[in-house]
Structure 1
Amino acid sequence: MLSPGVLYDERLTAPRSWWLITALFGVCTGLVLFPLGVLPLLGGLVVGTALAAAAVSSYGSARIRVLADSLVAGDARVPLEALGEVRVLDAEEALAWRTHRADPRAYMLLRGYVPTAVRVEVADPQDPTPYLYLSTRRPAELAGVLETARR
């Protein structure tokens, strides 16, 4: 359920397979320390798993929110009046826009494990950012909310 004033909310969580890799990283850390004894093995298991889990959790905590007056994507907050055309990108187009078509000045909230995205033009002439590239699992819904909120 959305909070009052929030029109859209999505968290770009890391896939489940990354959490398996986190556990395997902890096991590997413990095995590396095994020649030093059982206590270093257990310490390496706990500390390695905790560090990997913190990294995955941090990377997977990126959010996209559309509020009544602005778009919040990761660290960026853009007023809705400064946004232009919104374009839904399927997996193939999203790949092109995050590789050979990408503009180095663009703001990219990019998560490689999310194949689809939206591309939002920035209409503010004072802003050097040409567009926002936002990885999203629900591109049509996000585009629809942005179009509706801008009116």
Structure 2
Amino acid sequence: MLVEHDPTKQVSDALTARGFVYGAPVDIRKGVEHWTLLTHNDRHEIEIALDEVRDLEAAKIELIGISEVDTRVGGGEFPLYNLSPRQREVFQLARRRGYYAHPKEATASDLAAELDVTTSTIHEHLHKAEQKLLDLS
């Protein structure tokens, strides 16, 4: 989720009051906050809560995606908390854009262009993320 708001106001209070908790530290890039939030609410309840926060705090919120997290051991989710914020960002972008699909829907060059970095930087972040996620260290 991307959030832009008046920095003198605390949007986080409005979100936590509606059942959201932080899933990762807020990542701020180029004046835009990137938030990972967790909740037990369903998609409809999430959309209603975000509309309320938008109205209440005059915040500009763009929902990037909603996914279920399986907390069972072996549930198929990657332990993204092991990644640095930048590794997590690049890995999640790669997954969303189809970098890991077969056939690939996006190349490392596509991801690099989107993040305004070099292709080798993308490969470095993905390699480190994959190594941590697959416990190859």
What is the TM-score normalised by the length of structure 1? 0.26
Q: In terms of Rg, which structure is larger?
A: 1
Q: Return the TM-score normalized by structure 2.
A: 0.28
* Higher strand content, 1 or 2: 1
